[in-house]
């Protein structure tokens, strides 16, 4: 199975990189883009063939290492 | 291994007076630490105390009285600053040492490690200006009842260099309120006159926080580098107060074990 982990800064956390990227897009003429939030993306190739096991394992390592819950939240996709 | 690992300092030509018993500082060395030798130099050559490098895979602090987590880029700061260092074997021992009341100082990356390890609350974000800031700043001592600020005056302004790209301290408003209520904010970025101003905050830290302590007050982390400001030839000797403080604190017997009196009672 493959688990995809998307880590982003929590909504309450200011994202200076996202803001700078948004400013750059605006200066390129993309006024239709209101706001940008950037983050990290992890692909985990897992030995298991069970989707629930894969999801649980991805959540475990996200909690333990991939994300810092003080500033970040994460979302997992499994396929 | 780092070049000086295992070397024991004797504080050769320092300016400190001879003492009957020298304090022993453990300087933890992670792969990627790069201020370990500065801390070692400040403690031994300037302060006249003992110091020993402790490799991050060690599991013994070798009887240290004080633990320093130095600056640098532990484990390359890959993923997040301090995120992997938290899992180094020596950190279990640092946690035990801190739980017993032993004084622990995290400088810059060491502060980030303390945050990731949960020994201090909050987390670090990229500087709000997205720049790596390397310059002297002013910080105001907010609390003097920690082992690392005992020798300072409350409100004293110290001139100490910073060098970081991720020193933008963040915690949720309720956590900041708790830090304020518990007087855990130990240093704030100010101007030279000691006033908190937006222009004096180099990284966007909430509440202008440059350093803080845990509830028990024995674990202190700060982004500025006091070890780089211990000799006037380096532009400032204000940082020496931080290290002199812990030597004074240890002499009171208030730290290093669970049996000592609370520091407040011996000030």
Residues B129-179 have pLDDT tens digits of 999 999 999 999 999 999 999 999 999 999 999 999 999 999 999 999 999
| Among B225, B195, B201, residue whose Cα is nearest residue B128 | B201
β-strands B219-222, B104-107 pairing:
parallel
Which CATH number do you get for residue A57? 3.30.1280.10
Would you please indicate which residues of B are annotated as catalytic (active-site) residues? 108, 225, 227
Sheet with A39-45, strands from edge to edge, namely A39-45, A2-9, A72-78
Question: Tens digit of pLDDT per residue, chain B (267 long)?
Answer: 444 444 444 444 444 555 458 999 999 999 999 999 999 999 999 999 999 999 999 999 999 999 999 999 999 888 999 999 999 999 999 999 999 999 999 999 999 999 999 999 999 999 999 999 999 999 999 999 999 999 999 999 999 999 999 999 999 999 999 999 999 999 999 999 999 999 999 999 999 999 999 999 999 999 999 999 999 999 999 999 999 999 999 998 766 543 334 443 333
Question: From CA B190, how far away is CA B194, in angstroms rounded?
Answer: 5
Among candidates B83, B123, B130 on the partner chain, residue whose Cβ is nearest the Cβ of A65: B83
Question: From CA B67, how far away is CA B4, in angstroms rounded?
Answer: 17
**Closest approach of B63 to chain A, Cα-based (Å):** 30
Domain that holds residue A28: 2-78
| Cβ separation B125–A12 shorter than 8 A | no
Here the tokens at position B262 are 């609370």
**Closest approach of A48 to chain B, Cα-based (Å):** 25
Here the tokens at position B3 are 């070049």
Give, as one character, the DSSP assignment of residue B8.
Answer: B
| Cβ separation A71–B127 shorter than 8 A | no
Q: What is the CATH number of domain B24-260+262-266?
A: 3.40.50.880
| Cβ separation B130–A20 shorter than 8 A | yes
Question: From CA B239, how far away is CA B252, in angstroms rounded?
Answer: 21
pLDDT at residue B11 in the model: 43
A30: how many CB neighbours lie within 10 A of its CB? 12
Here the tokens at position B191 are 């101007």
B171 interfacial to chain A (CB closer than 8 Å): yes
| Cβ separation B129–A12 shorter than 8 A | no
Residues of A with CB under 8 A from a CB of B: 9, 12-14, 16-17, 20, 65-66, 68, 70-71
SS3 for A34-52 is CCCCCEEEEEEECCCCCHH
pLDDT at residue B20 in the model: 58
List chain B domain ranges: 24-260+262-266
B244 interfacial to chain A (CB closer than 8 Å): no
Q: ipTM score here?
A: 0.88
β-strands B123-125, B168-170 pairing:
antiparallel
Q: Using an 8 Å Cβ cutoff, are B192 and B157 in contact?
A: yes
Count how many domains chain A has. Answer: 1
pLDDT at residue B76 in the model: 87
| Cβ separation A70–B126 shorter than 8 A | no
Which residues of B fall within a CB distance of 8 Å from A14?
Answer: 125, 128, 204
| Among B126, B155, B135, residue whose Cα is nearest residue B143 | B155
Interior angle at CA A60, CA A59 and CA A65, nearest 5: 100
pLDDT at residue B252 in the model: 86
| Phi, psi (rounded to 5 degrees) for B19 | -130, 150
B205 interfacial to chain A (CB closer than 8 Å): no
């Amino acid at each position: 199975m493959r688990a995809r982990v998307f880590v982003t800064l929590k909504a309450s956390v200011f994202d200076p990189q996202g803001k700078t990227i948004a400013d750059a897009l605006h200066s390129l003429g993309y006024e239709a883009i209101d706001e940008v939030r950037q983050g990290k993306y992890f692909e985990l190739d897992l030995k298991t063939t069970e989707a629930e096991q894969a999801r649980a394992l991805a959540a475990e390592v996200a909690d333990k290492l991939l994300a810092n819950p003080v500033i970040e939240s994460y979302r997992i996709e499994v396929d | 291994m780092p070049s000086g690992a295992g070397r024991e300092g004797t504080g050769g030509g320092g300016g400190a007076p001879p003492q009957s018993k020298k304090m022993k500082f453990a300087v933890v060395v992670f792969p990627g630490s790069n201020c370990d030798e500065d801390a070692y130099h400040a403690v031994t050559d300037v302060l006249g105390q003992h110091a020993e490098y402790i490799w991050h895979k060690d599991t013994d602090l070798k009887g240290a009285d004080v633990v320093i987590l130095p600056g640098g880029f532990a484990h390359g700061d890959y993923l997040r600053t301090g995120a992997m260092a938290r899992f180094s074997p020596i950190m279990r021992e640092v946690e035990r040492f801190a739980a017993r009341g032993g004084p622990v100082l995290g400088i810059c990356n060491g502060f980030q490690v303390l945050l990731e390890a949960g020994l201090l609350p909050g987390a670090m974000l990229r500087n709000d200006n997205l720049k790596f800031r390397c310059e002297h700043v002013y910080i105001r001592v907010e609390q003097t009842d920690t082992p690392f600020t005992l020798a300072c005056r409350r409100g004293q302004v110290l001139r100490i260099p910073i060098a970081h790209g991720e020193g933008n301290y963040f915690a949720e408003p309720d956590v900041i309120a708790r830090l304020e209520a518990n007087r855990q904010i130990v240093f704030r970025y100010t101007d030279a006159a000691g006033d908190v101003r937006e222009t004096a905050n180099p990284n966007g830290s909430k509440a202008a926080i440059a350093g803080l302590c845990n509830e028990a007050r024995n674990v202190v982390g700060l982004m500025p580098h006091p070890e780089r400001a211990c000799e006037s030839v380096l532009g400032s000797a204000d940082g020496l107060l931080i290290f002199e403080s812990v030597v004074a604190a240890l002499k009171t017997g208030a730290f290093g074990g669970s049996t000592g009196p609370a520091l407040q009672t011996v000030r």
